[in-house]
A = this chain, B = another copy of it.
Amino acid sequence: MMAGVVPTGTDGGRRERKKLATRAALRRAALRLAVRNGVENVTVERIADEADVALRTFFNYFSSKEDAVLATAALGAEALVARFRARPPAESVLAALREAVLEVMESDDVAGHEHLAVLRLIRAAPSLLPQQLCVLAAQEDALAEAIADRVGLPVDDAYPRLCATAAFAALRVTLDRWLARTADDGDPPTTALLRAEFGDAVDTLAAGLDRGGAGS
Contact = CB atoms under 8 A, between A and B. Distances in A.
Interface of A: 88-96, 129-131, 133-134, 137, 150-152, 158-159, 161-163, 165-166, 168-170, 172-174, 177, 197, 200-201, 204-216
A204 B147 CA distance: 15
A214 B95 CA distance: 13
A202 to B, nearest CB: 8
Contacts of A177: 158, 161
A166 B166 CA distance: 5
A210 B91 contact: no
Given A166-B209, A208-B208, 9 more contacts: A89-B214, A133-B137, A151-B212, A151-B213, A159-B211, A162-B169, A162-B173, A162-B201, A166-B169
A131 B130 CA distance: 5
A24 to B, nearest CB: 24
A165 to B, nearest CB: 4
A88 B213 contact: yes
Contacts of A94: 209-210
A205 B197 CA distance: 19
A158 B197 contact: yes
Nearest to A136: B133
Contacts of A201: 158, 162
Contacts of A172: 165
Contacts of A96: 213
A37 to B, nearest CB: 22
Contacts of A92: 210-213
B90 A214 contact: yes
Contacts of A137: 129, 133
A92 B92 CA distance: 27
A210 B205 contact: yes
A83 to B, nearest CB: 14
Contacts of A204: 158-159, 162
A22 to B, nearest CB: 25
